[in-house]
Amino acid sequence: QVQLVESGGGLVQAGGSLRLSCAASENIFGNNAMGWYRQGPGKERELVADITKGGTTHYADSVKGRFTISRDNAKNTVYLQMNSLKPEDTAVYYCNKRGATTRGPYNYWGQGTQVTVSS
């Protein structure tokens, strides 16, 4: 069972920045994608951004131009640089890793890290 360990959440004022990190406990060979989801109070979990092993990225419209996702394949780590934060970005942010091996598909989640943006 692969474990995803997130770090970097916290409290920040509107307009500020935070950088989230997520390290996977082991490498999984083959194509995969790593990403960040978030769940705000009373809301459903939504995709924030994801990135394939080859570096193709995808962002939610609400964060385009403010957030940047990146990954270090050698370290099995994905990052989310969040700039110009807004109160509506307040949520628990979850790391995700999904893909498939010869044994079948997999989909792993981190425990979540709280991001709070004050106005």
Distances (CA, A) of 22 to 3, 14, 90: 10, 23, 18
Q: Which of 97, 84, 83, 85 is nearest to 36 (CA)?
A: 97
Q: Binning pLDDT at 50, 70 and 90, where does residue 25 land?
A: confident
Give per-residue pLDDT as tens, 49-99: 999 989 999 999 999 999 999 999 889 899 999 999 999 999 999 999 999
DSSP-based three-state secondary structure for 63 = helix
pLDDT of residue 6: 94
What residue type is assigned to position 20 of the chain? L
Residues 6+ apart with CB under 8 A from 107: 96, 97, 98
Q: Please list the helix, strand and coil fractions of the chain in percent, rounded to the nearest 5, in that order.
A: 10, 55, 35
Give dist(CA 15, CA 90) in Å, integer: 13
